[in-house]
């Protein structure tokens, strides 16, 4: 067989059932091998940018290896956006791209799709990047790359295969499945674990800040919450414990909520579990967290990367929590008034935050009321997401929510398409702004071709709303270059056969959702913000009191 056939057999061996791909001159042997093998679904995307975000979204929801197959040079460059976002999110992805014939590598001869340093470009945005130079090394390099993508801290890995190597013959590879979880994390060191246990026993008002590195820890965190711990999530770590739990603040993690920030000062121990404490949600680490902080992370580079900590415990989050419960679970004594104060603060913080949202105050709860409990909640970067999407819409399960962690606009639609492929019968809901929606609008036809079940809520303010708020706050209200003429969304919906409704008053939002949510296929709800009213700015883009605070 040739190396293209071998790639197809390898993907089957690591339990890949779906790939996102664009066929091109420098990957035909691989695509031909997949087609003849017949065991993998190929989602034909309209662009490599969209395809890379789809593979990311699929990985986040399924927990499996997301796979993108792209063209070379310009095609690989188009994929960089999604690979970078997968790096931000820690999504295990395998990107396979072609390369010019080996004899032309590095010679700048003007070969079709040739670039100066494709491997270096991919290494700059991925966890790692490799080249398969000979048929003999192909199986080993593929295995190494996939295992590295799945090994914590997870992330995207690229492989480039010159077209002549793809066509080269090789012996048939080993038969059987490959277990990518062979490299188990090391147990935490005894001394820091003992020190953390002592801090927990002495704490009376403790809580967790939980990130996406703790996705497997929900069953353990619930035990801590039942012992009286509080909890808050990063926006990437939502739903690890159901956000309906009274001791879980969910994504209402401090920025823009004085109630939460004030309460942090009453907490005597915050355990940061598998989270980077990213600048977007802490306003570049200006949110005042509890004074005493400890951190648990499998990545040693996480220590002190953002906020300082009193103690760092390197280890797999699940393994550390199990050890702590076994050692000190019976000795934890949380103050009774903390158990009472935390859920009261949660309700107060939600109500006060809702009051900052103007006509959109009830949108999160109205959408949550009609959305199935197991539906997927996928968002783009938009003012609506940065306010009620992140903070007030409740998520009940891990892997039920995703958004552009790197804050890149326009990634929501392809993330939602990838998520919908992993939904396994669940509904997928997308929240997007009009500007972001149009960036990858070609992928609507991918969604149509794949007959996906996707409800798209598009907040149409005819431009870049958050940029206008920044200009109000820091540039004297000089709103320049932020207005965009949106399309006729009704005609756009008609082009792809999507059911459509337009909401021109806040009272129309809930009825529109009740009409469209039960349907299958593509549905688009346009929110006309021009008639409903501009979304109030969110922290930290509130105008100062001197300029008239909202």
Burial tier of 116 (Cβ tally within 10 Å: 0-12, 13-18, 19+): exposed
For the chain, helix, strand, coil in percent to 5 are: 45, 15, 40
Indicate whether 548 pLDDT > 60.
Answer: no
> Is 270 inside any structural domain?
yes
> Is 179 inside any structural domain?
no
Query: Do 336 and 397 share a domain, yes or no?
Result: no
Q: What would you measure as the largest C-alpha separation in the chain, in angstroms?
A: 74
Q: What is the pLDDT of residues 199-233, one digit of tens each?
A: 999 999 999 999 999 999 999 999 999 999 999 99
- Rounded to whole angstroms, the Cα distance separating 533 from 133 reads 58
Q: Which of 352, 373, 396 represents a domain boundary (last residue)?
A: 352
Burial tier of 122 (Cβ tally within 10 Å: 0-12, 13-18, 19+): buried
- Rounded to whole angstroms, the Cα distance separating 229 from 448 reads 46
Strand partners, 379: 431
Q: How many residues does the chain have?
A: 550
Average pLDDT over residues 292-300: 96
Assign residue 226 the CATH number of its domain.
Answer: 3.40.50.1220
Q: What is the pLDDT of residues 64-76, one digit of tens each?
A: 999 999 999 999 9
pLDDT of 174 reads: 79
- Rounded to whole angstroms, the Cα distance separating 285 from 80 reads 28
Assign residue 395 the CATH number of its domain.
Answer: 3.40.50.970
Label residue 504 left, alpha or beta by phi (over 0 means left) and psi (-120 to 50 means alpha): alpha
Indicate whether 183 pLDDT > 70.
Answer: no
Query: Do 230 and 297 share a domain, yes or no?
Result: yes
Task: Collapse the DSSP code of 499 into the 3-class scheme (helix H, G, I; strand E, B; otherwise coil) and give the result.
Answer: strand
Query: Do 198 and 340 share a domain, yes or no?
Result: yes
> Is 173 inside any structural domain?
no
Task: Collapse the DSSP code of 531 into the 3-class scheme (helix H, G, I; strand E, B; otherwise coil) and give the result.
Answer: helix
More confident call, 105 vs 277: 277
Q: Which of 110, 149, 26 is nearest to 76 (CA)?
A: 26
> Is 294 inside any structural domain?
yes
Q: Give the DSSP H/E element, type plus range, for residue 525.
A: strand 522-528
Indicate whether 112 pLDDT > 90.
Answer: no
Task: Place 182 in a pLDDT band, splitting at 50, 70 and 90.
Answer: low
Pair 256, 235: CB distance under 8 Å: no
Q: Are strands 401-402 and 428-433 parallel, antiparallel or unpaired?
A: unpaired
- Here the tokens at position 364 are 């999160």
Strand partners, 41: 18
> Is 178 inside any structural domain?
no
Average pLDDT over residues 317-344: 96
Query: Do 28 and 102 share a domain, yes or no?
Result: yes
> Is 277 inside any structural domain?
yes
Query: Do 306 and 342 share a domain, yes or no?
Result: yes
- Rounded to whole angstroms, the Cα distance separating 374 from 389 reads 16
Percent of the chain with pLDDT over 90: 89
Task: Place 547 in a pLDDT band, splitting at 50, 70 and 90.
Answer: very low
Output the DSSP codes for 284-351.
TTTS---SSEEEEES-GGGTTSSS--SEEEES-HHHHHHHHHHHHGGG----HHHHHHHHHHHHHHHH
Query: Do 346 and 363 share a domain, yes or no?
Result: no
- Rounded to whole angstroms, the Cα distance separating 415 from 431 reads 11
> Is 53 inside any structural domain?
yes
Question: Cα 5 from chain centroid?
Answer: 32
Buried b (16+ CB within 10 A) or exposed e, 253-280: bbbbbebbbebbeebbbbbbbbbbbbee
Which one-letter DSSP state was computed for residue 94? Answer: E
Q: What is the pLDDT of residues 384-398, one digit of tens each?
A: 999 999 999 999 999
Q: Give φ, ψ of 232 to 5 degrees.
A: -140, 155
Quickly count helices (H) and strands (E) in the chain. Answer: 23, 17
- Here the tokens at position 451 are 């007959």
Pair 59, 66: CB distance under 8 Å: yes
How many independent structural domains does the chain possess? 3
pTM, two decimals, is 0.96
Output the DSSP codes for 380-394.
-SSHHIIIIIHHTS-
Task: Place 187 in a pLDDT band, splitting at 50, 70 and 90.
Answer: confident
Query: Do 97 and 151 share a domain, yes or no?
Result: yes
The alpha carbon dihedral of 457, 462, 465, 469 has a sign of negative
pLDDT of 542 reads: 74
Task: Place 110 in a pLDDT band, splitting at 50, 70 and 90.
Answer: confident
Q: Which of 135, 167, 199 represents a domain boundary (last residue)?
A: 167
pLDDT of 104 reads: 80
Q: What is the pLDDT of residues 451-475, one digit of tens each?
A: 999 999 999 999 999 899 999 999 9
- Here the tokens at position 238 are 């939502």
Average pLDDT over residues 112-121: 88
pLDDT of 546 reads: 38
Pair 547, 476: CB distance under 8 Å: no
Q: Which of 113, 133, 167 represents a domain boundary (last residue)?
A: 167
Query: Do 540 and 405 share a domain, yes or no?
Result: yes
Q: What is the pLDDT of residues 472-524, one digit of tens each?
A: 999 999 999 999 999 999 999 999 999 999 999 999 999 999 999 999 999 99
Tell me what the pLDDT averaged over the chain comes to: 94
Strand partners, 21: 44, 69
pLDDT of 113 reads: 81
Query: Do 126 and 251 share a domain, yes or no?
Result: no
Q: What is the pLDDT of residues 242-253, one digit of tens each?
A: 999 999 999 999
Pair 188, 273: CB distance under 8 Å: no
Query: Do 430 and 291 share a domain, yes or no?
Result: no
Query: Do 379 and 494 share a domain, yes or no?
Result: yes
Query: Do 447 and 513 share a domain, yes or no?
Result: yes
Residues 6 or more apart in contact with residue 503 via CB below 8 angstroms: 509, 512, 525, 526, 527, 528, 532
Pair 257, 346: CB distance under 8 Å: no
Name the residue with tokens 């497997």: 216
Give strand ranges (E) for 194-297: 206-210, 230-233, 269-273, 293-297
Containing structural domain, residue 80: 3-167
Task: Place 105 in a pLDDT band, splitting at 50, 70 and 90.
Answer: confident
More confident call, 549 vs 121: 121
pLDDT of 550 reads: 35
Question: Cα 388 from chain centroid?
Answer: 17
> Is 475 inside any structural domain?
yes
């Amino acid at each position: 067989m040739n190396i293209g056939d071998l790639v197809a057999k390898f993907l089957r061996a690591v339990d890949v059932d779906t790939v996102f791909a664009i066929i091109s001159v420098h990957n035909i042997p691989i695509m031909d091998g997949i087609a003849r093998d017949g065991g993998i679904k190929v989602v034909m995307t309209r662009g490599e940018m969209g395809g890379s975000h789809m593979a990311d979204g699929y990985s986040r929801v399924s927990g499996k290896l997301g796979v993108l197959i792209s063209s070379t040079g310009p095609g690989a460059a188009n994929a960089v956006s999604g690979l970078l976002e997968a790096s931000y999110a820690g999504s295990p992805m395998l990107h396979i791209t072609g390369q010019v014939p080996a004899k032309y590598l590095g010679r700048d001869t003007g070969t079709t799709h040739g670039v100066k340093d494709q491997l270096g470009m991919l290494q700059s945005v991925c966890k790692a990047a490799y080249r398969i130079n000979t048929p003999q090394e192909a199986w080993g390099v593929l295995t190494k790359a996939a295992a590295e993508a799945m090994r914590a801290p997870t992330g995207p890995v690229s492989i480039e295969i010159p077209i002549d190597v793809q066509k080269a013959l090789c012996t048939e590879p080993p038969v059987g499945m490959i277990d990518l979880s062979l490299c188990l994390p090391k147990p935490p060191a005894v001394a820091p674990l003992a020190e953390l246990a002592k801090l927990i026993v002495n704490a009376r008002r403790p809580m967790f800040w939980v990130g996406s590195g703790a996705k497997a820890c929900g069953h353990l965190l619930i035990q801590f919450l039942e012992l009286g711990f509080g909890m808050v999530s990063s926006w990437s770590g939502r739903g690890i414990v159901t956000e309906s739990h009274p001791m879980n603040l969910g994504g209402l993690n401090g920025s823009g909520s004085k109630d939460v920030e004030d309460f942090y000062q009453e907490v005597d121990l915050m355990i940061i579990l598998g989270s980077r404490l990213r600048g977007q949600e802490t306003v570049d680490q200006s949110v005042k967290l509890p004074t005493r902080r400890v951190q648990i992370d499998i990545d040693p580079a996480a220590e002190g990367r953002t906020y300082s900590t009193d103690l760092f415990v390197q280890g797999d989050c699940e393994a550390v929590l199990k050890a702590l419960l076994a050692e000190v679970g019976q000795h934890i004594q949380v103050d009774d008034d903390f158990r009472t104060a935390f859920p009261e603060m949660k309700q107060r913080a939600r109500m006060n935050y809702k009051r900052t949202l103007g006509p959109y105050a009830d949108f999160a709860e109205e959408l949550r009321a009609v959305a199935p409990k197991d539906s997927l909640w996928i968002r783009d970067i938009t003012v609506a997401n940065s306010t009620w999407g992140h903070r007030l819409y409740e998520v009940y399960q891990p892997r039920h929510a995703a958004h552009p962690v790197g804050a890149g606009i326009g990634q929501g639609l392809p993330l939602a398409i990838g998520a919908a492929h992993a939904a396994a019968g669940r509904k997928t809901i997308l929240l997007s702004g009009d500007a972001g929606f149009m960036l990858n609008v070609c992928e609507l036809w991918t969604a149509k071709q794949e007959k996906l079940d996707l409800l798209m809520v598009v907040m149409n303010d005819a431009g870049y709303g958050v940029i206008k708020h920044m200009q109000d706050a820091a540039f004297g209200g000089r709103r320049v270059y932020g207005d965009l003429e949106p399309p006729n969304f009704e005609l756009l919906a008609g082009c792809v056969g999507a059911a459509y409704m337009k909401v021109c008053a806040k009272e129309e939002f809930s009825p529109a959702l009740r009409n469209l949510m039960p349907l299958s296929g593509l549905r688009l709800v346009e929110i006309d913000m021009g008639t409903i009213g501009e979304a109030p700015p969110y922290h930290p883009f509130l105008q100062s009191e001197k300029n008239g605070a909202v």
